[in-house]
Amino acid sequence: MDQKTTAKLLTLVKRNYQEIAADFDATRRKELWPEISRQAVAVKDKADVLDAGCGNGRLLEALSDKKINYLGFDNSSALIELAKCNYPGREFVAADILSLNASLPDRKFDYIFCLAVLPHIPSQTLREEALRQLKDHLKPDGRLIISAWNLWGNKKYRPLIYKSYWHKLWGKSDLDFKDLIFPWKNAQGQEVSQRYYHAFTSGELKRLGQSVGLQIIEQKKDFNNYWLILQRK
């Protein structure tokens, strides 16, 4: 993918979450995915926890019984404001995962949650850079918990993935293979914004984690997501 296309996609992703922030907040008040709650069990009291791409802050629901030092960041200022309203007293900042070393210098964490974030980062190069910066903020033996949507397991998205393959093969797309752009619809069914996803495979996510020198502790998938638990070597 060329730099011009990458830049356009990064702008699209940021604009998308600004445009849908209120709708996104409303739709993210359902029960948490079971795997999030399972991973939260391992978080110890007094741990330093970073919520990368925190959205409206709902990870805190899974950590509500923990006495932790929490920081959530997102590149959508609209979502950060909603997170502050949802969880007053918690620390939230507007920051970009690709410039994290500049935004959070010298801060280290025992646990970093990066949930449904990597599918929004265009190009293998930038996804690796995002993971390197998260790795830089892990303490020794710190853990990085990653999720990426299992779009292949969803009948709604599978035809879009195949269509994107053919467009790429026919030279009709500047996107990478498995990249999707499609509309976000509000509760009334109106198209209000455009979204970008990269449709990860399980093996691709595993290779991405290994590419930055992190040790794989656990890998699994469910209907909704692929999960990868990583640790500093």
Predicted confidence band of residue 130 (pLDDT cuts 50, 70, 90): very high
Q: Is residue 17 part of a domain?
A: yes
pLDDT digits (tens, 9 = 90+) for 146-198: 999 999 988 888 898 998 888 888 888 899 999 999 888 887 888 889 999 99
Q: Is residue 44 part of a domain?
A: yes
Single-letter residue type at 198:
H
- pLDDT attached to residue 16: 94
CATH number of the domain encompassing residue 99 = 3.40.50.150
Q: Is residue 76 part of a domain?
A: yes
* 191, β-bridge pairs: 185
Query: Using alpha carbons only, what angle is made at residue 73 by residues 72 and 75, rounded to the nearest 5 degrees?
Result: 155
**Alpha carbon distance 161, 164 (integer Å):** 5
Please say if the pLDDT value at position 117 is more than 90: yes
Query: Both tokens of residue 117?
Result: 């974030």
Q: What are phi and psi of 69, to 5 degrees?
A: -100, 105
CA atoms within 13 A on the CB side of 59: 31
- pLDDT attached to residue 128: 97
Place of tokens 């795997």: 35
Exposed/middle/buried for residue 186 (C-beta within 10 Å: 0-12, 13-18, 19+): middle
Q: Is residue 187 part of a domain?
A: yes
Which residues span the domain enclosing 204?
Answer: 3-151+182-232
Q: Is residue 166 part of a domain?
A: no
Q: What are phi and psi of 22, to 5 degrees?
A: -65, -45
22 or 16, higher pLDDT: 16
Which residues, in sequence order, are CB contacts of 5 under 8 Å at separation 6+? 122, 174, 175
Q: Is residue 16 part of a domain?
A: yes
pLDDT digits (tens, 9 = 90+) for 59-109: 999 999 999 999 999 999 999 999 999 999 999 999 999 999 999 988 999
28 or 75, higher pLDDT: 75
**Alpha carbon distance 27, 38 (integer Å):** 21
Give me the chain's average pLDDT, please: 92
Is 186 in contact with 192 (CB distance < 8 Å)?
yes
Element (H, E) at 195: strand 191-198
Q: Is residue 177 part of a domain?
A: no
Exposed/middle/buried for residue 198 (C-beta within 10 Å: 0-12, 13-18, 19+): buried
Please say if the pLDDT value at position 219 is more than 80: yes
Please say if the pLDDT value at position 35 is more than 80: yes
- pLDDT attached to residue 25: 78
Q: How many domains does the chain have?
A: 1
The stretch 214-229 carries a mean pLDDT of 94
Place of tokens 């702008």: 11
Of 8-17, 42-51, 158-167, the least confident: 158-167
Q: Is residue 159 part of a domain?
A: no
Please say if the pLDDT value at position 212 is more than 90: yes
**Alpha carbon distance 149, 157 (integer Å):** 11
**Alpha carbon distance 123, 24 (integer Å):** 25
